[in-house]
């Protein structure tokens, strides 16, 4: 499976500010995904990022709050804008792998605390 890295690994931010999270993959992948995992909860898909097209957002998530870039086949960023304490979560990127149709592999995650 692909090796996925994320930066930063964790951060503490003040409300009203924005944070950009980077996801880097060691091989070219078509589809990248951004998830959120709130404390004690499971994973919720924020959006799907395909290179060369606009990201596709899931219900409840909007581009103004979570803008995404996908400039090439190995890199993507997710920005959490105008943060509030409710945005405190783990943010994870994932990629589709070659283990089988729709298999996804996750990066190490970014742990965000908003004060």
Partner 1 sequence: QKEVEQNSGPLSVPEGAIASLNCTYSDRGSQSFFWYRQYSGKSPELIMFIYSNGDKEDGRFTAQLNKASQYVSLLIRDSQPSDSATYLCAVNFVGRGSQGNLIFGKGTKLSVKP
Q: Does a cis peptide bond (omega within 30 degrees of 0) precede residue 8?
A: yes
**Which residues in the 40-69 window bind partner 1 by CB under 8 A?**
41-45, 48, 56, 58
By CB under 8 A, tell whether 22 contacts partner 1. Answer: no
Q: Which residue has the tokens 């499971």?
A: 42
- Please identify, using beta-carbon distances, which residue of 85 and 101 lies nearer to partner 1: 101
Residues 68/100, Cβ–Cβ less than 8 Å: no
By CB under 8 A, tell whether 109 contacts partner 1. Answer: yes
Q: Identify which range of 12-20, 64-72, 75-83, 91-99 contacts partner 1 by CB under 8 A.
A: 91-99
CA atoms of 9 and 90, how far apart (whole Å): 9
């Amino acid at each position: 499976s692909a090796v996925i890295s994320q930066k930063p690994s964790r951060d503490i931010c003040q409300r009203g500010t924005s944070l950009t999270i980077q996801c880097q993959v060691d091989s070219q992948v078509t589809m990248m995904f951004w998830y959120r995992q709130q404390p004690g909860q499971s994973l919720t898909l924020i959006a799907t990022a395909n290179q060369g097209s606009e990201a596709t957002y899931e219900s409840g998530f909007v581009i103004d709050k979570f803008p995404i870039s996908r400039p090439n086949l190995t890199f993507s960023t997710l920005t959490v804008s105008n943060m509030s304490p409710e945005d405190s979560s783990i943010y994870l990127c994932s990629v589709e792998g070659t283990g089988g149709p729709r298999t996804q592999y996750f990066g190490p995650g970014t742990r965000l605390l908003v004060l």
